[in-house]
């Protein structure tokens, strides 16, 4: 048991996410597709859509890049480091391509949208570029690249949601799955490239979402995560699809996120439901009360704050103040209880940030005490409102120092919150073996905390009652009861 006290789950402070790599499919198709996914969960979900589209065009998937006929990197442009990681990977793949002259290399996703000219023409690192709304066009683009052309489609759509495509589960453990419920973002946060790389918000037909979740449950999955850049903005108009009206007597209303959450939760009590990401200014009491009504809706909310300073929040165009955010946290804990898991995002060293602004962030963290967080130094992204309007004037050393202080505080709070769970018993959905030992299993509780416990006769996909005996800052360790 003591050897497992360092068994860290997926929720370490400020992780640099490892790329997701394609799993193997062997159906006898002629060509092999290899995909690496970087960045947010939406990119991983998009890669599953890509695999589904190309499966119908004669492609199996492979986990060995050396066997691939087509290699795709599904990219993130949220930070400079993420882009540099992809560039380094493309340089490496060029060496592999020399050994396999027929191999096609393509860049998908947000980086493709932002850097198409440089990647295709100036640096000639790729044969193909496709933006997030162009994946249906991949068969044509691959055909064009096969004939020696450099193919590109980065058109941003106002309608595309890929609602009719059943994703190929590329990196699935067979227990948990992502379901994309909307695409794009209308929140023009000044530091963010997403509205420019993924376009405007549009919500997917709720019937298709419920159908996908139902099929996943019938296939043995026991948890779904509803994905969107801002899930609280989900709204399906009855004018767009008459079947999506919720009837109340003679009245009908738009399907909101609270409505959708309830419909997915009602599929089956054994299907856990999570969602990400919420915007503080948009999450409603209706959503919180819906979460409270259904035991299978996990009591966990990722609520990015970015800064504890009202002045900085206004410069970021976040749409709320420090006081408003703290009131929202109070409301969450009032409705869902103190054990509701809370996580956040923090940016250290945003334009003009002073020591007082930084202290406001630290004191907000003290007031909330998040379970975990994703924390980064500010990275100016070309083309964003912040890059156009504000000077990136906080020295790199100061950013690093402030980031370290935020990480240290969050580490202390995470450990404190986990210690408060020692002695409690939680329902844990088993997701697979522990990273440290095959003799132990790991899963998550409702609050999204990783729990490790002895394997015994339990199996993946089973719900187990686990009493917590020990903890680290990121993991709970216990025994089945």
Domain boundary among 153, 182, 216: 153
Count of the separate structural domains present in the chain: 2
Q: How many CA atoms, within 13 angstroms, populate the side-chain half-sphere of residue 428? A: 32
Asked if residue 54 lies in contact with residue 139, where contact means CB atoms within 8 angstroms, the answer is: yes
What's the rounded Cα separation, in Å, for the pair 32 and 317? 44
pLDDT at 79: 77
Asked if residue 105 lies in contact with residue 78, where contact means CB atoms within 8 angstroms, the answer is: no
What would the mean pLDDT of 287-296 be, rounded to a whole number?
98
What are 227's strand-pairing partners? 180, 276
The pairing of beta strand 176-180 with beta strand 223-227: parallel
pLDDT band at residue 116 under the 50/70/90 scheme: confident
Q: Show the CA angle centred on residue 421, arms to residues 420 and 425, nearest 5°.
A: 150
What are 472's strand-pairing partners? none
The pairing of beta strand 59-61 with beta strand 341-348: unpaired
139: containing domain: 23-153
Q: Is the pLDDT of residue 263 over 60?
A: yes
**DSSP state string for 278-309:** --TTT--HHHHHHHHH-TTB-SEEE---B-S-
Positive or negative torsion for Cα 328, 330, 335, 341: positive
What's the rounded Cα separation, in Å, for the pair 69 and 296? 42
Of 217, 327, 342, 340, residue with least CA distance to 277: 342
Tens digits of per-residue pLDDT, 385-431?
999 999 999 999 999 999 999 999 999 999 999 999 999 999 999 99
Q: Is the pLDDT of residue 188 over 70?
A: yes
Q: Which two tokens stand for residue 195?
A: 């509205």
**Which one has a higher pLDDT value, 98 or 180?**
180
Domain boundary among 129, 153, 177: 153
Phi and psi, residue 364, nearest 5°: -65, -40
Q: Is the pLDDT of residue 167 over 90?
A: no
pLDDT at 113: 74
How far are the Cα atoms of 251, 283, 302 from residue 309, in angstroms, in the given order? Answer: 43, 20, 19
The answer to whether position 434 is within a domain reads: yes
What would the mean pLDDT of 85-107 be, rounded to a whole number?
89
The answer to whether position 189 is within a domain reads: no
The answer to whether position 191 is within a domain reads: no
Reply yes or no: is the peptide bond before residue 277 cis, omega within 30 of 0: yes
Domain boundary among 153, 185, 208: 153
CATH number of the domain that residue 434 is part of: 2.40.50.140
What's the rounded Cα separation, in Å, for the pair 219 and 199? 33
**Which one has a higher pLDDT value, 179 or 78?**
179
pLDDT at 262: 98
Q: What is the pTM of this model?
A: 0.87
Across the chain, mean pLDDT equals 89
pLDDT at 29: 63
Using left for φ > 0, alpha for ψ between -120 and 50, and beta otherwise, residue 383 falls in left
Q: Show the CA angle centred on residue 12, arms to residues 10 and 18, nearest 5°.
A: 55
The answer to whether position 381 is within a domain reads: no
Burial environment of residue 479 by CB neighbours within 10 A (0 to 12, 13 to 18, 19 or more): middle
The answer to whether position 207 is within a domain reads: no
Q: Which two tokens stand for residue 294?
A: 């259904």
Percent of the chain with pLDDT over 70: 90
The answer to whether position 65 is within a domain reads: yes
pLDDT at 12: 29
Q: Is the pLDDT of residue 260 over 60?
A: yes
pLDDT at 239: 67
Tens digits of per-residue pLDDT, 3-15?
333 332 323 233 3
pLDDT at 249: 40
The answer to whether position 6 is within a domain reads: no
Burial environment of residue 423 by CB neighbours within 10 A (0 to 12, 13 to 18, 19 or more): exposed
What's the rounded Cα separation, in Å, for the pair 158 and 133? 9
How far are the Cα atoms of 5, 122, 223, 411, 412 from residue 298, in angstroms, in the given order? Answer: 25, 47, 10, 23, 24
pLDDT at 110: 85
What are 306's strand-pairing partners? 346
Q: Which two tokens stand for residue 357?
A: 């602004």
What's the rounded Cα separation, in Å, for the pair 306 and 269? 35
pLDDT at 2: 34
CATH number of the domain that residue 41 is part of: 3.40.50.2300
Lowest mean pLDDT among 138-142, 282-286, 380-384: 380-384
Asked if residue 61 lies in contact with residue 35, where contact means CB atoms within 8 angstroms, the answer is: yes
The answer to whether position 188 is within a domain reads: no
Asked if residue 269 lies in contact with residue 220, where contact means CB atoms within 8 angstroms, the answer is: no
pLDDT at 436: 86
| 339-353 CB burial, b ≥16 within 10 A, e <16 | bbbbbbbbbbbbbeb
């Amino acid at each position: 048991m003591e050897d497992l006290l360092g068994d860290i789950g997926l929720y370490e402070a400020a992780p640099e996410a490892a790329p997701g790599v394609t799993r193997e499919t062997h159906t006898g198709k002629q060509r092999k597709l290899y995909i690496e996914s970087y960045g947010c969960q939406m990119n991983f979900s998009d890669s599953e859509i890509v695999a589904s589209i190309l499966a119908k065009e004669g492609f199996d998937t492979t986990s060995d890049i050396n066997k691939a006929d087509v290699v795709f990197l599904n990219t993130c442009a949220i930070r400079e480091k993420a882009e540099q990681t992809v560039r380094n990977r493309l340089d490496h793949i060029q060496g592999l391509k020399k050994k396999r002259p027929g191999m096609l290399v393509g860049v998908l996703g947000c980086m493709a949208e932002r850097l198409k000219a440089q990647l295709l023409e100036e640096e000639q690192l790729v044969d193909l570029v496709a933006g997030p709304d162009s994946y249906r066009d991949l068969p044509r683009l691959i055909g064009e690249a096969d004939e020696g052309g450099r193919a590109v489609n980065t058109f941003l759509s106002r309608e595309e949601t890929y609602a009719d495509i059943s994703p190929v589960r590329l990196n699935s453990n067979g227990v948990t799955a992502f379901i994309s419920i909307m695409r794009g973002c209308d929140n023009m946060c000044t530091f963010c490239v997403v509205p420019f790389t993924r376009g405007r918000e549009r919500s997917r037909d709720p019937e298709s979402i419920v159908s996908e979740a139902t099929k996943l449950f019938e296939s043995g999955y026991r948890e779904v995560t509803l994905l969107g850049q801002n899930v609280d903005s989900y709204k399906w108009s009855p004018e767009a699809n008459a079947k999506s009206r919720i009837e109340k007597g003679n009245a009908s209303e738009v399907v909101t996120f609270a409505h959708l959450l309830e419909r997915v939760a009602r599929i089956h009590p054994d299907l856990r439901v999570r969602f990400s990401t919420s915007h503080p200014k948009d999450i409603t009491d209706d959503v919180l009360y819906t979460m409270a009504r259904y035991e299978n809706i996990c009591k966990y909310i990722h609520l990015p704050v970015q800064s504890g300073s009202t002045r900085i929040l206004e410069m970021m165009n976040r749409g709320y103040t420090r006081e408003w955010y703290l009131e929202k946290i109070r409301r969450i804990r009032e409705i869902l209880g103190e054990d509701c898991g809370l996580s956040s995002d923090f940016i250290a060293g945003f334009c003009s940030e002073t020591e007082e602004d930084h202290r406001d962030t630290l004191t907000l963290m003290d007031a909330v005490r998040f379970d975990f967080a994703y924390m980064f130094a500010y990275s100016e992204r070309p083309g964003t409102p912040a890059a156009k309007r504000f000077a990136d004037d906080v020295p790199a050393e100061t950013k690093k120092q402030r980031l370290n202080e935020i990480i240290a505080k969050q580490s202390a709070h995470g450990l404190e919150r986990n210690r408060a769970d020692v002695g409690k018993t939680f329902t844990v959905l088993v997701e697979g073996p522990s990273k440290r030992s095959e003799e132990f299993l790991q899963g998550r509780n409702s609050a999204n905390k990783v729990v490790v416990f002895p394997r015994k006769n339990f199996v993946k996909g089973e719900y187990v009652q686990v009493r917590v005996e020990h903890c680290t800052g990121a993991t709970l360790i216990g025994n089945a009861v």
